[in-house]
Structure 1
Amino acid sequence: MTDGVNLSRRGLFRGRLSAPKAGIQLPWSVSWDEFVAGCTRCGDCLAACPEQTLIKGDGGFPTVDFHRGECTFCTECVSACQAPVFRPTTQTPWEYVAHIEAGCLATAQVFCQRCQDSCEQQAIRFSPLLGRVPTPSIHAESCNGCGACVADCPVGSISIGLSRGEASR
Structure 2
Amino acid sequence: MAPTAAETLATRLAFLDQAVTRWQEAPTLRVAHEAAEEARNLVVGATGPFYGDANGDGKISGANSVGVLPGLKGEAGLADPDENSCVVADVLGGRWSDPAMRWSRLQGAIASWTPAKNTFPSLPSHPQRVVGWASLTLQSNRLADAHEYASHARLHADISLRALHNCRR
Do they superpose with TM above 0.5?
Answer: no
Q: Which structure has more helix as a fraction of its residues?
A: 2
Q: Which structure has the bigger radius of gyration?
A: 1
Higher relative contact order (CA closer than 8 Å, sequence separation 6+): 2
Q: Which structure has more strand as a fraction of its residues?
A: 1
When normalised by structure 2's length, the TM-score is 0.29
